[in-house]
Amino acid sequence: MAGQSDPHISLFSAQEVEFLGEDEMVEIVPNMRMDPLNLICGDFGPFRPQIATQVPLWLAVALKKRGKCTIRPPEWMSVEKLTQVLEAERNSLREFQPLPFHYVEIARLLSDHARDDIPDVYMVRSLIEDIRNVRFHKVETGLETIHERTHAVKLKNLSAMEANIVRPFVVRALQAFYKHDSPEMIPQPDTTAIRRRQAADRGPKRDRRY
Partner 1 sequence: MKSRSLKLREAHKSSGAASFCSILWDLRAQHLLTSSSNDLSICIHDPLLPSNSPQILRHHRDGVTALALSPNSTCLASGSIDHSVKLYKFPGGEFQTNVTRFTLPIRVISFNRSGSILAAAGDDEGIKLINTIDGSIARVLKGHKGSVTGLAFDPNGEYLASVDSIGTVIQWELHSGTALHILKGIAPDTGSDLSVLNVLSWSPDGETLAVPGLRNDVVMYDRDTAEKLFSLRGDHVQPICFLSWSPNGKYMATAGLDRQILIWDVDQRQDIDRQKFDDRICCMAWKPNGNALAVIDVMGKYGVWESAVPSSMKSPTEDVPSLQSKNSNGLLLFDEDEQEPSASGSLSDLGEDSHGESEPPSRKRLRKQSTYDEDINDDLLSSLPKVESRKKASHSHKESLNNGNEGLKSTSARLKMQEAFQPGATPVQPGKRRFLCYNMLGSITTIEHDGYSHIEIDFHDTGSGPRVPAMTDYFGFTMASLNEHGSVFANPCKGEKNMSTLMYRPFSTWANNSEWSMRFEQEEVKVVALGSAWVAAMTSLNFLRIFTDGGLQRYVISLDGPVVTASGFKDELAVVTHASHCLPSNDQMLEFRVFNISNGTQPLKGHLPLTPGSCLTWFGFSEEGQLSSYDSKGVLRVFTNQFGGSWLPLFSASKEKAEENYWVAGLNMNKLFCIVCKSPDLFPPVMPKPVLTLLDLSFPLATSDLGAETLENEFILKNMHLLQIQQRIEEMAAAGLDTTSLDDEAFNVETALDRCILRLIASCCNGDKIVRATELVKLLSLEKSVKGAIKLVTALKLPNLAERFNSILEERLLNETSRPATLPLTSSNHDACTTPDVVTSKFLTSIQSSKPSQPVIPLPSPQLSSPLFAKKGKLQEGAKVGNEKVEQRRTAIVENIGKVKSLAEVKSIEDVMNQGEASIGEIKNGAVNQRPSNPFAKSSSNQEKSSLFDAIKKMKKVDETGKR
Binding site for partner 1 (CB under 8 A): 29, 31-33, 49-52, 67-68, 70, 72, 79-80, 83, 123
Of 90 and 196, nearer to partner 1 (C-beta) is 90
**Beta-strand (E) ranges in 52-163?**
53-56, 69-72
Shortest Cβ 35–partner 1 spacing (Å): 14
Of 2 and 29, nearer to partner 1 (C-beta) is 29
In 3D, which of 179, 170, 168 has the Cα closest to residue 145?
A: 170
What does the alpha-carbon distance between residue 15 and residue 147 come to, in Å, rounded to a whole number? Answer: 32
In 3D, which of 126, 155, 142 has the Cα closest to residue 93?
A: 142
Of 29 and 146, nearer to partner 1 (C-beta) is 29
Cα 167 → chain centroid: 13
Shortest Cβ 198–partner 1 spacing (Å): 38
Identify the three-state secondary structure at position 50: coil
Of 21 and 30, nearer to partner 1 (C-beta) is 30
What does the alpha-carbon distance between residue 150 and residue 120 come to, in Å, rounded to a whole number? Answer: 43
Shortest Cβ 126–partner 1 spacing (Å): 9
Shortest Cβ 74–partner 1 spacing (Å): 15
